[in-house]
Amino acid sequence: MKPTNMRTTQSWISISSSRGRKIGRLFCLPFAGGGASAYHRWPSRVLDGIEVARVNLPGRETRLREPLFDRLAPLIDVLVEELVHWIDGPFFLFGHSMGALLVFELARGLRCRHGLLPLHLFVSGFRAPHLPPSHLPFSHLPDAEFVDSVRRYGGLPDLVAQNEELLEIFLPILRADFAMTEKYIYLEESPLECPLTALGGLSDSEVSREEILAWNIHTSARFNTHFFPGGHFFLHDSEPLVLDQINHQLNEAMLDR
């Protein structure tokens, strides 16, 4: 019997109980350098009846001593087989930035290997995966140049950049995560048969409006886009607005069942 209280299974998934009777589960994947804690406020703010399942990737937070993944395909292979044990009813996938790429490939992996699809896929702050990257690779650069590049990307808070001890912890994580997206190779498959919502920041200098709109080719079902105040991390700047839109789509998905 699967637990409904907060706990982990093999460290990969942290489940928060839903408010009221459980009707579905929302899996949340982190951005580059981030962890499950990025979604710590979500369980109390998502639609009643939806459990929030925060994915804990190796090499960060509670799994800091574990080896990092720097290739996307092997990580997806593991994630598919981990998450399938937690899919016992309607489910949804959300990811921001690197996490958007992860949930896209995770949805394709679940479809291919287990015949499973989310009721709705949410991709946030990342270009459509068939498009070329907008910047040259920088995960291999020396520390100082790498830090400058990540800061321009908006992925390194000043507090971390100015603290040598924190940098020592975060640099390997960020290098591995950026390497994962830089070395990603898109392979064409048929579009996903689930609704897809692509979210973007109105002031995001890294991901353009056109790159967000281009996600439309990756679903044969309903496609939505929404843009929010803020830069690349509008997810934090406009969190209440983002959650309002997610809750609207979660509610529609449950009513359409």
Sign of the dihedral defined by the CA atoms of residues 13, 17, 23, 26, in that order:
negative
Q: What are phi and psi of 155, to 5 degrees?
A: -105, 10
**Alpha helices (runs of H) in 8-121, residue ranges in sequence order:** 72-83, 98-114
CA atoms within 13 A on the CB side of 171: 19
Find out whether 191 and 108 touch, Cβ atoms under 8 Å: no
Q: Which residues are catalytic?
A: 97
Strand partners, 92: 26, 120
**Could you tell me which residues come within 8 angstroms of residue 27 by beta carbon, excluding any fewer than 6 positions away?**
13, 53, 55, 83, 86, 91, 92, 93, 94, 103
